[in-house]
Chains A and B, each alone.
Chain A
Amino acid sequence: MSIQPAETWTSRVARYAIWVVLFTAWEIAWRTIQWPAWKFPAPSHVVDAFAYLLGLSTNLSGSVATHPQGGFWSSAMLTALWVSLTRLVAGFAIALVLGVLLGGAIWRWIWLNRLLGPLLLGLQTLPSVCWVPLAVITLKLTESAVIAVMVLGSGFAVALAMRDGLAVMPPLYERAGRMLGATGWRLWRYVLLPASLPAMTGALRQGFGFAWRSLLGAEMVLVTTGKGLGYLLLAGRELGLAADVVAVMAMMVVVGMSVDRWVLGPLDARVRQRFGLR
């Protein structure tokens, strides 16, 4: 985060008001034009679908006639969210460890960077869903296949972000460390690793976006016994339930934004603050 003046209350109100205005306009437009809801839903349909998928009954649109079976805790949306988040944590952890190690290695050994750098860059440009066919063929329809797509879809991004983050680290740190007698693992433990924290949090933030997108893409194409949010989106499409589709998309946005805003953002800010980068 760069230097920003404290947010005034008016701009804060405006920031939330824009959503209200947007959704109200959409709702009014829908009520005026009366598009068929199964082709293009209004916010009220989406809210109803969201509630339905969470096992709750609302009827803002006045077009819901059935009650969801099962309660909130066994609802489709919550189950899918749980499945997706579990996969995210598992897959992202693997991608992070491998990516950080690989990124550190190609930063440390310049010949390795020359050897692998272009390859990594090339693989990173490959959209993550393009890994799905290979994952399905080799790993069949398993959790491992989903995790593999996530790791391959985000690991390279993490590695490159890590390398680039390390590259801007002042070389003075390493020289000072050596001056003070740090060599071998001590140099890493007390100098290089702490100094690479900003690079790591940067890689973390960058990698999360890739991992989350890879996961949802994989879940839409690769159906296993665990049904995540991507699967729920696919189900909405196959059943022609447009409001469900938008509701699931909204959930995906909420998760992505929340993780960045409440977990990774603050972490990044804290690290940068400690390093005097803000």
Chain B
Amino acid sequence: MAARPVRGFGVLAAGLLVALGLATAFLAVALRSGWLTAGSHEPAGSNVLRLGYFPNLTHAQAVLMVDSGELARAIAPVQLVTHLYPAGPSLMEALAAGEIDVGYVGPGPVLQAYQASGGTAVRLLANAASDGVAIIARPGSGITTPQDLVGKRLATPQFGNTQDLSARHFVRKWGEEKGFASAVNFVTPLTPSEQATMMSRGGIDAAWVPEPWASRLVDQAEATVIADERSLWPDPPGHFALTVVVASPSSLATHGVAIDKLLALNAVWTARLASNRQKYVTQLNAAFANLKNSGGRPLPEKLLRSALERVTFRDTLDLETFRTMSGWAATEGWQRGPAVSLDGLARRDESR
């Protein structure tokens, strides 16, 4: 039986085509005029430097150089655009995707992106801060030493971030010593801003976090400091890199001049903070207040002062931390391909 031609098919097809055309046109207009990106429509290209960092104390150089306007002035006429992230994996994801050019981030996610991309995604430029991480426990959790963390619910800022990697490494080690192999399953990534509530309600027992989150937990959840991560690292004084400045090789090629100016300013601010950090407490708090919409929050001044004492500001590269953490990440099964030599991590090969 021959199929009867469906009447109105032509009309339907034409209607669909018109609808499709209208939708495309609408989408094009919407994207161009920035309706969809809700006002965050930003210029891109070689005359804009896009910087990513966290509203953390351990990112003080970035927080201060942006808030004071020094960075914007230094890189002019290149325009500055900033993006804030809650933790490293999100920032590295943005860097790898070309959403930002340069960022302040911890060694864990840098290593991961470097290894996963076969050494092509990221270059290490400078150190910003070392140490500055504490282990905090909820009252009544029964945790008094770091080894007590085995079998307790331990929060870290994000899966795969630097503290997450440290926590997994040490908890795995202590768990094995106690014959509790699955101890690492109790590591619970949770956004730092949600940790205080969760801790005071007993949802987590402890947290392994950078400043100012550690001090904030002490303040808000009436928690206690169990240990400074520095005390767990071998060989006193046991400094470990916590915040570093990184860029993608492609951004280094296109934004090399602006990035160099940022690095110079990083050195200036590192020197200022290293010589007299307490002098900048008010300025830091004002900067955090300005970042309110991006997760920054001012702290009681006493708290900020004590939190600052935990951080070491220094800009000399510390590849030793990267080597140590690379071994930890391998144990966690995070690296698949052939190990990429860390020698290329800090190489500025702008021809790439």
Chain A residues engaging chain B, CB cutoff 8 angstroms: 36, 38-39, 48-49, 52, 63-66, 68-69, 76, 136, 140-142, 223-227, 234-235, 237-241, 243
Q: Which of B117, B160, B336, B338 contacts A238 (CB 8 A)?
A: B160
B162 CB within 8 Å of chain A: no
Judged by DSSP, the binding face of B is loop
Contacts of B300 in A (CB 8 A): none
A38-B118, A238-B159, A239-B89 in contact; A65/B339 too (CB < 8 A)?
Answer: yes
Give the residues from 315 to 342 in chain B that come closer than 8 angstroms, CB to CB, to chain A: 330-331, 333-339
Q: Which 5 A-B pairs have the closest CB atoms?
A: A140-B203, A65-B338, A238-B160, A238-B89, A238-B159
Per-position 1/0 for B105-138, Cβ under 8 A of A: 0000000110011101100000000000000000
B198 CB within 8 Å of chain A: yes
A52-B336, A69-B333, A225-B185 in contact; A235/B202 too (CB < 8 A)?
Answer: no
B206 CB within 8 Å of chain A: no
27 A-B interface contacts by CB (under 8 A): A36-B117, A38-B118, A39-B96, A52-B336, A63-B336, A64-B336, A65-B336, A65-B339, A66-B330, A66-B336, A76-B333, A140-B198, A141-B190, A141-B198, A141-B203, A223-B189, A225-B185, A225-B186, A226-B185, A227-B185, A234-B159, A238-B89, A240-B92, A240-B96, A240-B112, A240-B113, A240-B116
Contacts of A49 in B (CB 8 A): 336
B153 CB within 8 Å of chain A: yes
Chain B residues engaging chain A, CB cutoff 8 angstroms: 89, 92-93, 96, 112-113, 116-118, 120-121, 153, 158-160, 185-186, 188-190, 194, 198, 201-204, 330-331, 333-339
Cβ A223 vs Cβ B333 within 8 A: no
Q: A48-B336, A238-B159 are in contact. List 12 more A-B contacts (CB 8 A).
A: A36-B120, A38-B96, A38-B118, A63-B337, A63-B338, A66-B333, A66-B335, A140-B201, A226-B185, A234-B159, A235-B159, A240-B112
Judged by DSSP, the binding face of A is loop
Cβ B153 vs Cβ A38 within 8 A: no
Contacts of B335 in A (CB 8 A): 66
Cβ B160 vs Cβ A235 within 8 A: yes
Cβ B203 vs Cβ A239 within 8 A: no
Residue of A nearest to B201 (CB): A140
A63-B337, A235-B159 in contact; A225/B153 too (CB < 8 A)?
Answer: yes
Q: CA separation between A140 and B201, bound complex, in Å?
A: 8
A38-B118, A140-B202 in contact; A240/B333 too (CB < 8 A)?
Answer: no
Contacts of A234 in B (CB 8 A): 159
Q: Which of A63, A140, A227, A238 contacts B158 (CB 8 A)?
A: A238
Nearest chain B CB to A66 CB, angstrom units: 6
Residue of A nearest to B153 (CB): A225
Cβ B339 vs Cβ A38 within 8 A: no
Contacts of B333 in A (CB 8 A): 66, 68-69, 76
Most chain A beta-carbon neighbours within 10 Å: one of B158, B201, B203, B335: B203
Cβ B159 vs Cβ A241 within 8 A: no
Contacts of A68 in B (CB 8 A): 333
Q: CA separation between A243 and B116, bound complex, in Å?
A: 11
A141-B198, A225-B153 in contact; A65/B159 too (CB < 8 A)?
Answer: no
Contacts of A141 in B (CB 8 A): 153, 188, 190, 198, 203-204
Nearest chain B CB to A115 CB, angstrom units: 35
